[in-house]
Chain A
Amino acid sequence: MYAFYLLVAVPKNLLQMRKNGEKEQAAAYWKGVKWNFTSAGKAAANWQLP
């Protein structure tokens, strides 16, 4: 469903950050992506949607 985002956009952004020497940012970005697969992240998908 989010194949393009996960397989193309995320790796591209991570590589770009690493290339720019933004290691902390890359780690934080990846942590943010992973958050979506935690229980809190899963619950947020439908939270407050009418």
Chain B
Amino acid sequence: MKKAPQTLPKVSLVTVNFNTTAVTRELLCSLRAQHYPNLEIILVDNGSKEPCAVLAEEFPEVIYVDTGQNLGFAGGNNAGMEKATGDYFLWLNNDTEVAPDFLFPLVERFAQNPTIGMVSPKIYFYDAPNTLQFAGFGPISSISGRGFSIGLGEQDEGQFEEARAISRPHGAAMMFSRALWEKIGPMPEVYFLYYEEMDYAAIASRAGFSIWYEPKSRVWHKESMSTGKQSPLKAFYYGRNRLLYLRRHTRGSKNC
């Protein structure tokens, strides 16, 4: 039986828009169909050429923040956190859509264990709705800076139905507790793009928090299944940030 709204913890959902108003509108429509009753939605426009202020009129339930410039992934989400009043915070990519009940299992997972600091849902590819993008991450190698994705590209046949501790959350959908936020502070903004959630997870782990995968919560991500040629911008930040991560979080061949 579901609890009454006033007894459920408040969730602050932060999503960042950058030049993709139509995609963000689809997410907000998807969020309108979800059932969790104690939710605030914070929409951050991260310096778009045409800011998505129109969405704040179409969706008056949304708290709108305009950063005026592109602050990167962490900077945009951190700016949204200035308005967040929840017990839990969910950073959700604007190119996702959600199952109507997706918030309940995430919140319930935190209640299972007070050391849990972050939880990510099961993530599918939007274009292939039964194909998995994320069912957890293995540890990042302190030598190569790479970690393997559990379930990536597999059909979901129920093989990843067990919640478990993982090395890091998925940046497209990560919920964390107020306790974590108050203990370790905002996500470092030195990366701008890519690897910042791994950095944040490393800091959280060192602070004593565990990170979990929750399969009962489902999200669909509009990222292409075929990687294809990456853009020079993406290549720059991958080259820059993988080494930066290793410099910040490894000593010799060991993780800090």
Question: Is B241 interfacial (CB-CB < 8 Å)?
Answer: yes
* Inter-chain contact A5/B144, CB cutoff 8 Å: yes
Question: Is A39 interfacial (CB-CB < 8 Å)?
Answer: no
Among A4, A20, A32, A36, point to the contact of B144 (Cβ < 8 A): A4
What total count of A-B pairs have CB within 8 Å? 92
* Inter-chain contact A47/B188, CB cutoff 8 Å: yes
* Inter-chain contact B235/A36, CB cutoff 8 Å: no
CB distance from A30 to the nearest CB of B (A): 7
Question: Is B158 interfacial (CB-CB < 8 Å)?
Answer: no
* Inter-chain contact B238/A46, CB cutoff 8 Å: no
* Inter-chain contact A20/B232, CB cutoff 8 Å: no
* Inter-chain contact B240/A36, CB cutoff 8 Å: yes
- Do most interface residues of chain B lie in helix, strand or loop, or is the interface mixed? helix
- Taking CB atoms, residues of chain A closer than 8 Å to B32 are none
Question: Is B233 interfacial (CB-CB < 8 Å)?
Answer: yes
- Taking CB atoms, residues of chain A closer than 8 Å to B240 are 31-33, 35-36, 41
* Inter-chain contact B235/A26, CB cutoff 8 Å: yes
CB distance from A36 to the nearest CB of B (A): 5
Q: Which residues of chain B from 229 to 252 have a CB within 8 Å of any chain A CB?
A: 229-244, 246-248, 250-252
Interface size on B, residues (CB 8 A): 35
* Inter-chain contact B235/A32, CB cutoff 8 Å: yes
CB distance from B20 to the nearest CB of A (A): 22
Interface residues of A (CB under 8 A from B): 1-2, 4-6, 8-10, 13, 17, 20, 22, 24-33, 35-36, 41, 44-50
**Closest 4 pairs (CB-CB, A-B):** A32-B239, A32-B240, A28-B232, A29-B239
Beyond the given A5-B242, A44-B190, please list 14 additional residue pairs across the A-B interface where CB-CB is below 8 A.
A2-B246, A4-B144, A6-B243, A25-B230, A27-B232, A29-B235, A30-B239, A31-B236, A32-B237, A36-B240, A41-B244, A48-B185, A49-B248, A50-B185
